[in-house]
Structure 1
Amino acid sequence: MVADAGRCRLMSARHRSTTGMTEIDGISARFGWHAGWVSARSVSPVLVGRSSELNRLRTALAEAPGALLIGGEAGVGKTRLLREFTERATADGARVLVGGCLELGSDGLPFAPFTAVLRGLVREIGIDGVAGLLPRSATGGLARLLPEFGEPETDAASGEERARLFELVLTLLERLAERTPTVLVIEDAHWADRSTRDLLAFLVRNAGTAPLLILVTYRADELHRTHPLRRLLAELDRVDRVRRIELTRLTRGEVGELARGLLDGEPPAGLVERVHERSEGNPLFVEALLARDGSLACGLPESLRDLLLAAVQRLPEETQDALRVASAGGTRIEHALLAAVSGMDDTTLTRVLRPAVEANVLVVDGDGYAFRHALIREALHDDLLPGEHTRLHARYAEALENDPVLAPSGRLWVLLSHHWYSAHDSTWALVSAWRAAGDARKAVAYAECLTMLSRVLELWHKVPDAAERIGAAHADVLEQAVMAAELAGEHERGIKLATAALREVEALGDDARCASLLEQRGQMSYELALPGYIDDLRAAVGRLPAEPPSAVRARALASLAKYARLITGTEEALVAARESLAIARRIADLDAEVDALLTLFCVDIDYDGGLEELQEVERIAQRSGNQRPLLRVAVLRSHYLEGSGRHAEAAEVARQGIELAREFGLSRTHGTFLAINMAEPLVSLGHWDEALVCLRQALEQDPAPAIRTSLHVLAGEIALARGDFAEAEAQLAPAREIMWRKTQDYFAMLRLESALRLAQGRPDEALASVENVLTNPDLPDDARYAWPVLLIGAHACGVLPDRAAGTAMLERIEKRAAELTVRGPLQEAHRVTFVAKTAHARGVWDRAAWDAAAVAWEGISEPFPQAKSLAHAAEAALADGDRDLAAARLHQAAALAERLRAEPLVRRVADLSRRARVNGAHAPAERPAHGLTPRELEVLRLVAQGRTNRDIAETLFISAKTASVHVSNILAKLEVASRGEAAATAHRLGLAGA
């Protein structure tokens, strides 16, 4: 690679040498990627999930000399981690030398990585430059590594010559390190030849005091028990300055971040889950499985199959045959089952499989075996010939039928369905799938139940007597599939199934079944924020007669009430909820009664009372033994407590609800919804960092659209309060795209949008958002969510350049506020603040009103609005000439704002203190030079610590993209070209630890 600013950046020396490329580079070439560490579309621009490892590398360089041994399976990201680290190290002034070992076995080219390193160094500084680093007349010894240095001084083969060569290499590296910290990277040491291993061991053991860091990567999965690198690693582990790093696979959330980086945008819904499942978190496999159009690749790419099968193809033929048999049994297979299918006795099977275990293709797992990676099994299985594939699966099915004990507990019917299906026996695949669906449903494994029912539906028309064989009609199977889809959260699929089922049930003239299907379709449409869901719910009620009373009608009415209140006001919802409760009590249906009571409670929440009523409903729900109402109680109770201003209680109830959802296996649905109810009170209490962790974890669960809006809004409001407008804008964008019109979400989105536009100095745009609240009155829970937006609107009216327009808009806002019913201390705090705000908008400083607002917010433990009210009260006191009173208010406001790290408010309070010549009001230091904002100063401090954008994002609870924007702004303001220069400038100006 061409030198950069006089530094040795030999990132791809091994790829440019005549010695060839590694197998991973071969994959890159076959895919059309750039080889080595050069950025490409198929490599994520953001390093994902390696913050701690990156920190360890930086620490190791700072503490050099030393060595780090970096292990992990193929594709887990060793090279990607090193690329990120070495780019940073180079930018900070270090020299990086890279060489890679070749897949030629122990008899390969000797010293291949060191030859590549030396060639790259010569390319940069020339033969004379290298010679100048060594003792006179010593360069001839390097001819053993590179012909450019001439002929070796002697052809004698001796230990002395070998030792001399080793000393020359060490001297060269130390002289380089004395000039500038140096990093030597040796990649793929599992392929290292003996000479390379010996030289590497020598360097690690004998490095002196110069800042030389040696990094060695190897594939842990390649190291069978007799692998020669094992011994070397064990020896190096005993050296004081040597440490190991084992890279693990990515979590689901990290796979999602990687996918976003690869696709340069948000992946389609559900894609991350599928990619994570197939890749098992291996970054290389994630990249290979992600198609360029953002879809999941249908099959394994050929080059990836080559990689996965390389170890298999080196095994004895009889072992490969046994592995092909095992591949049809799944990623893990019991020894007894494999013996039955293969026809081998225990002794023979053990002998045949031993090479696969020693080569790390298989691992022993209890009484069976597991493929080291699921994609190895898939590659083997895909390699089966068609007839071989059919025969193998039929043999598995027959073995399981002959001896069901061979199947793991509870999995017999699933396995039978799988094998008969793969063997193309439609009849027995259908029967087994039906039985498997029943088992899954009993185990509340709804997604698996849906999978099996879908197979039944797929095979239905291939089995003429399907209904007789399973004892159920096609419509029955469809209805069960709709239920399974709803419970599994597969709403798009459920809507399609419900539509298909309705066509068949309507033909039968069964109104009750039609009503149930309409209700389910309406509820799932709501979860996806699709229009028309209320029409389905009304149609469901219309299908059912009022007499005789029925549980089906009670449930349909409760659903109509629950959802109608979200868009049509309370009247229709109240009528439906009351009739539902009356029916439930007439027919003595406890579950229906609980449902009706909960719905009736939330139709028109009274924040002045009503908690006892909800607690009674909870007791009834507990007696019913139905788990889902208990989760709904947790949602409603935490929602009620937050709306009542009892924030600490709300957070605790939500936290307990999340644990309950986890116990019930409903973390992704109910648990994520409860995360909103936990994050919201945390925001109110000023526990913003804890709230951001909660929000991020919830978003990683890929929640439904009806849930995501509030999560983004809350995260955006924290960013806005801390002065990070870029992050607030980033959170607003997805909230606006969902376009959900439930009061809680829609008004919350308008609240963030109007506040952000006002903070950006665009009051006219802020009022355009407020307009949507003015024109949508009488929505459920209207007052709770309308008050905050009206407050922002009143503020915007006061700063609107067109005073006449501001006055006219303020009158409309006041009229809307006068129509709101104030319930509970939270709404009262908003009302009191609104009085002060409207007076201020008219140019009147009402100190008493602002003091009343501050007291109201303090009473419900909301420090941020309390601090803002105190600042306004101080300003009003200054207008009255009462400097002592202003000082007291400013002291309180400053303490609260600084604890929250609400930088705009901190600056405002400090500015008021300076203008009023008030001392000791916790005024922060003046803004640092170069016009850095407080947030940019925070980012600069982390840059000075060597943090990546990913690290900065995690530390400051912002997105990596926002962190990148801040870094770019810092470089521009400091007029520097790199992060290293920015860090040096920070230290010079005394900002690094400020």
Structure 2
Amino acid sequence: MTIHQVSPLFVGRAGELDLLLGVLGETRGGAAATVLVGGEAGVGKTRLMGEFTDRAGDALVLVGGCLELGTEGLPFAPFTAVLRSLVRTLGRDRVAELVPGGTTRGLARLLPEFGEPDRDGAEARARLFEQLLGLLERLAEDRPVILVVEDAHWADRSTRDLLSFLVRYQRGTGRLMIVVTYRSDELHHAHPLRPLLAELSRVAWVTRVELSRLSRREVAAQAAGILAREPSPADIERVYSRSEGNPLFVEALLSEDGSGGLLPESLRDLLLASVERLPDETQELLRMASAGGQRIEHDLLAAVTGFDEAALAARLRPAVAGNVLAVDGEGYAFRHALIREALHDDLLPGEHTRLHTRFAEALERDLSVLPAPRGAIELAHHWHAARDTTWALTSAWHAAAAARRSTAYDEQLRMLSRVLELWDHVPDAAERTGRGHADVLRQTAVVAHLAGEYDRAAALASAALGEIDRAADPVAAARVLRLRGLIRYDLSRPGHIDDLYEAAALVPAEPPSRLRGQVLESLARMLHRPDRRAERIATAEQAIEIGRRAGDDTVQAQALISLTWTRCLRFAEIDEHRGGYAEARRLAVRADAYNALMRVAISESDSLEGAGRHEEAAQVARDGIALAERYGLARTSGTFLSINLAEPLMSLGRWDEALEVIEHALELVPPPPHQTGLRGFATDIALARGRLDQAAELLAAIGRIVARGSFREQTVLPHGRREAELLLARGRVDEAREAGLRLLRSHDLRAEPRYSWGLLASLAELGGPVLAEVRALAERLPADGDLQQAQRLTVTAMTVTEDDPEARLKAWDAAVAAWEALRNPYARARVCEGAAHAALACGAREHAAARLATADELAQRLGARPLLARVDALARRAGIALADQSAPGGPPLGLTARELEVLRHVARGRSNREIAAELFIAVKTVSVHVSNILAKLGVASRGEAAAKAHALRLFGE
């Protein structure tokens, strides 16, 4: 396997790169600007600068870096490097010609090629500063100049003074852009760069940017680039937790052995450099603290070390001042997890065991020093690290129970996995846990399923089933078969229905039992095909009756959800049956059954969207996501509900909002089947906006997942449709038609009319032999509810022969009316385009002009460039003038609808985190919106933005 030393992908810095390129654009127009770029070591400042300068076009890029030489850097080092580069490129004489004043004696202080330097003194120093500024000004007359000063945290006093001078006086130089990078983690409270940065940040043309660490999803993308394959969820979790999103650390961890296992020596040296500058007694304390984890409470550290308050404070203070430890509430946190890991790895075997035993004993004496479930989990960690297998197993079992009570499923899974790992090493494990091995396997599988580790859950369930004698213990076997069936269903793997049928056969029908009700309600979920509708309804009704007789509200709720969803598939009758969801929700609340509450939200929002009731669907999904986060199910049920939220938002034309929901959900690295739905809708938007490369990347990622499972039509049909649409958009018409015909001929479209109608409407655009098959299939396919009726009318309009222009226009106008009623702007815009074609064929120019104007306005609003181009081309050919969309009457102050929504929350005094929670988007996304809002409003702070919003009465409040 090939492993790249550096990720070939540029990940997670699109916003910062756009900012730099935007500033460069302003510089090209004659403005001068400075950008200060900070971030910890390894966070990607150099990579960002490389990407930026590569895209700088004709700009002259001058780069110089500060050097670390003891406590003070080399005087003027970055400017000497810049000057040397200019001499090498232009020649000494040409550079001398560009220096104002006809003398280069000032520059001679930087390079001996320019002769003897001036005498020392304030005047000589001022001449050097003026000459360098003048040189940059002359260079900027021909083309924009980008001066990059790297690693300013190592800058000496002279370099800092010259840099300050250039920034303050650059405004008169014209097209000069200065970029300064520095390590923010090196800036301890007395660092000399800190006051300079604060001072420069107050200059009007200076922008300050802080590079954050990568998100989990961005780390996954970076790892995929390095490994040249999709990393497993376990790999992602291991590398992300250790690197904490630092790109350099990710590269180092993966480049060592491809799995993120070992800590490379080069990385260890970098991490420990700041530690080795500290006093010996502080280093010793840090080694002791490293056994306590990434964050350690003050009282716990005092108990383990045995130091009194004065001695402990004396040892801690240099670590905090040196930015190795940070004060965190009532304790301390290592600046980076890998610093702690490097220190911990340096412990001798005896020290390792002794320290972890002391931590465990201290926690045993007073577990309340840490909040639940953290105390129980850390106690289990320390007994395990101390290599006491008996207490490690026992404490892990209790920690798993504490994690369950806090709905911390990832931690519960980790603790149960440790119990299984230690099982054979503890002879009385069954007595200590009160469970047999097969039951612990089953319980671990349940938790893995809740945590979104579906493949692992399936393997654990199969292992548990292998230890159970079906004849001797049919009930235990049925319980595990039901579990495996549910997991296989979520994985879109074959065999899920077989597992449920076998489980049903093993559980006695009488007396009615909770398990039999569970098996039957699970089976009812999976009988999707239309030819099994009657069986599904009968099975669900049987489960409801069992739940009623057994007094089990959860079984009743789950079965009622399946029954209601089935009945609501006849979308025209949704109001007649929707009350079943309300009753299921009531039962689930009474039973505190969070899984049933999640399913109510998923199924009801799905039913409403299928009926074309987009706003209601979106609200139900939003409420469900909030519940999922409360129950610790954000990564599983929450991301599934994000699919159900993104779909109606797309239907309503709120594409940017839908993309934010998708991004936020993907940040959680959800199970692969959920990723297909999220990325699928992102693909639809990319295709509609003409971003074909992005669409191709998304489709490739979906294809890799789909190839590993046996997915239903609701996944396979949209995926096939998107592949055909991409081929058509790239002009590969014959290939698109072949793909379309394969899709039509390999699936029974009558099984899923909801997804089949959208497929037919898309494939009809391919024309040729595909159009004939679409026409034939449309005649046999039922259309239920307003949404499917609108799709049917669209297909009808597309398949009417050109021989009857009046009938074609009538068909297109019927489709326009249907989509207008559903408030779906993109579908409406597309059928308006079709109606305009039909109207022109009938000679109805005014009719065509009205349809084109509507399509143009909607496509502009959505950013649907391919459709907009087609509409404009048709209007030009027909000699129809379209209205100027840039005329007044647009959004206030140039704010987008989403930015107005964010501004509303800012005006109410809410933080970025509160806004993110309210809108179900990432905090980072809110931060970008707020930055855009401040720029558009021309204000410097959130308070000023709120004041301006109130003054302008933007929200009427």
Change (3 A) 1:168 1:898: closer
Change (3 A) 1:842 1:517: farther
Deviation of residue 87 (structure 1)?
3.4
Q: Per-residue displacement from partner, 1:653-694 (whole Å, max 9, x unpaired)?
A: 222222222222222222221222222222323333333333
- 2:931 aligns with none
Instruction: Give the partner amino acid of 1:248.
Output: S
Instruction: Give the partner amino acid of 2:615.
Output: A
1:712 aligns with 2:688: no
1:547 aligns with 2:510: yes
- Identify which of 402, 413, 420 aligns with 2:383: 420
Equivalent pair of 1:584/1:592 in contact (CA under 8 Å): yes
Equivalent pair of 1:680/1:714 in contact (CA under 8 Å): yes
Query: How many Å separate the matches in 2 of 1:858 and 1:263?
Result: 48
Change (3 A) 1:158 1:880: closer
Query: How many Å separate the matches in 2 of 1:865 and 1:32?
Result: 44
Query: How many Å separate the matches in 2 of 1:901 and 1:56?
Result: 20
Q: Per-residue displacement from partner, 1:751-794 (whole Å, max 9, x unpaired)?
A: 334445556463674365355445543865x2222223334455
1:611 aligns with 2:573: no
- 2:815 aligns with 853
- Identify which of 799, 811, 817 aligns with 2:768: 799
1:777 aligns with 2:739: no
Deviation of residue 823 (structure 1)?
2.3
Query: How many Å separate the matches in 2 of 1:209 and 1:806?
Result: 64
- Taking structure 2 as the reference length, what is the TM-score of the superposition? 0.83
Q: Which moved more, 1:508-517 or 1:493-502?
A: 508-517
1:748 aligns with 2:718: yes
Matched residue SS, 1:81: helix
- 2:890 aligns with none
Deviation of residue 129 (structure 1)?
2.6
Matched residue SS, 1:597: helix
Matched residue SS, 1:329: coil
Instruction: Give the partner amino acid of 1:829.
Output: A
Deviation of residue 163 (structure 1)?
4.8
Change (3 A) 1:186 1:859: closer
Equivalent pair of 1:67/1:215 in contact (CA under 8 Å): yes
- 2:212 aligns with 248
Matched residue SS, 1:225: coil
1:690 aligns with 2:652: no
Q: Which moved more, 1:845-854 or 1:301-310?
A: 845-854
Change (3 A) 1:84 1:133: same
- 1:359 aligns with 322
- Identify which of 243, 249, 273 aligns with 1:279: 243
Query: How many Å separate the matches in 2 of 1:52 and 1:908?
Result: 29
- 1:439 aligns with 402
Query: How many Å separate the matches in 2 of 1:908 and 1:150?
Result: 65
Equivalent pair of 2:617/2:644 in contact (CA under 8 Å): yes
How does 1:309-348 map onto structure 2 within 5 Å? 309-348=272-311
Deviation of residue 421 (structure 1)?
0.9
- 1:489 aligns with 452
Q: Which moved more, 1:605-614 or 1:308-317?
A: 605-614
Matched residue SS, 1:545: coil
- Identify which of 538, 553, 556 aligns with 1:590: 553
Deviation of residue 159 (structure 1)?
5.0
1:79 aligns with 2:79: no
Instruction: Give the partner amino acid of 2:786.
Output: P
For structure 1, the residue ranges without an aligned partner over 5 or more in a row are: 1-30, 34-39, 926-994
Query: How many Å separate the matches in 2 of 1:280 and 1:872?
Result: 52
Query: How many Å separate the matches in 2 of 1:255 and 1:890?
Result: 45
Query: How many Å separate the matches in 1 of 2:591 and 2:638?
Result: 21
Query: How many Å separate the matches in 1 of 2:736 and 2:141?
Result: 59
- 2:918 aligns with none
Query: How many Å separate the matches in 2 of 1:730 and 1:848?
Result: 40
Q: Select the structure of larger CA radius of gyration.
A: 1
Change (3 A) 1:471 1:369: same
How does 1:607-686 map onto structure 2 within 5 Å? 607-609=571-573, 610-686=577-653
- Identify which of 120, 129, 139 aligns with 2:104: 139
Change (3 A) 1:651 1:455: same
Matched residue SS, 1:364: strand
Query: How many Å separate the matches in 1 of 2:136 and 2:676?
Result: 55
- Identify which of 170, 180, 188 aligns with 1:216: 180
Change (3 A) 1:779 1:591: farther
Q: Which moved more, 1:351-360 or 1:576-585?
A: 576-585
Query: How many Å separate the matches in 1 of 2:76 and 2:840?
Result: 78
Matched residue SS, 1:456: helix
Deviation of residue 454 (structure 1)?
0.9
- 2:926 aligns with none
Change (3 A) 1:124 1:924: same
Instruction: Give the partner amino acid of 2:436.
Output: A
Equivalent pair of 1:561/1:603 in contact (CA under 8 Å): no
Deviation of residue 397 (structure 1)?
1.4
Query: How many Å separate the matches in 2 of 1:720 and 1:752?
Result: 8
Equivalent pair of 1:46/1:261 in contact (CA under 8 Å): no
Change (3 A) 1:335 1:688: closer
How does 1:799-838 map onto structure 2 within 5 Å? 799-800=768-769, 809=773, 814=776, 816-838=777-799
Equivalent pair of 1:48/1:254 in contact (CA under 8 Å): no
Q: Which moved more, 1:373-382 or 1:138-147?
A: 138-147
Change (3 A) 1:779 1:706: farther
Matched residue SS, 2:326: strand
Matched residue SS, 1:298: coil
Matched residue SS, 1:370: strand
Q: Per-residue displacement from partner, 1:111-152 (whole Å, max 9, x unpaired)?
A: 333332232222222232333234678434544433334555
1:451 aligns with 2:414: yes
How does 1:449-598 map onto structure 2 within 5 Å? 449-506=412-469, 509-565=472-528, 569-598=532-561
Q: Per-residue displacement from partner, 1:675-729 (whole Å, max 9, x unpaired)?
A: 2222222232333333333333333433333333333333333344444555444
Query: How many Å separate the matches in 1 of 2:726 and 2:208?
Result: 47
- 1:92 aligns with 58
Deviation of residue 202 (structure 1)?
4.4
Query: How many Å separate the matches in 2 of 1:239 and 1:192?
Result: 20
Deviation of residue 348 (structure 1)?
0.6
Deviation of residue 644 (structure 1)?
1.4
Deviation of residue 368 (structure 1)?
1.8
Matched residue SS, 1:522: helix
How does 1:932-947 map onto structure 2 within 5 Å? none
Matched residue SS, 1:509: coil
Equivalent pair of 1:710/1:748 in contact (CA under 8 Å): no
Matched residue SS, 1:484: helix
Query: How many Å separate the matches in 2 of 1:830 and 1:168?
Result: 70
Equivalent pair of 1:569/1:778 in contact (CA under 8 Å): no
- 1:429 aligns with 392
Deviation of residue 888 (structure 1)?
4.8
How does 1:115-130 map onto structure 2 within 5 Å? 115-130=80-95
Change (3 A) 1:209 1:894: closer
1:58 aligns with 2:24: yes
Equivalent pair of 2:17/2:48 in contact (CA under 8 Å): no
Deviation of residue 904 (structure 1)?
4.4
Instruction: Give the partner amino acid of 1:607.
Output: F
Deviation of residue 742 (structure 1)?
1.2
Matched residue SS, 2:760: helix
**Cα-Cα RMSD:** 3.4
Change (3 A) 1:42 1:348: farther
Matched residue SS, 1:375: helix
Matched residue SS, 2:91: helix
Change (3 A) 1:616 1:418: closer
Instruction: Give the partner amino acid of 1:748.
Output: P
- Identify which of 762, 766, 782 aligns with 2:737: 766
Query: How many Å separate the matches in 2 of 1:895 and 1:236?
Result: 44
1:114 aligns with 2:79: yes
Instruction: Give the partner amino acid of 1:785.
Output: Y
For structure 2, the residue ranges without an aligned partner over 5 or more in a row are: 887-957
Tell me the number of residue pairs that the alignment of Structure 1 and Structure 2 aligns. Answer: 873
Deviation of residue 528 (structure 1)?
2.2
Deviation of residue 96 (structure 1)?
2.7
Matched residue SS, 2:571: coil
Equivalent pair of 1:105/1:191 in contact (CA under 8 Å): no
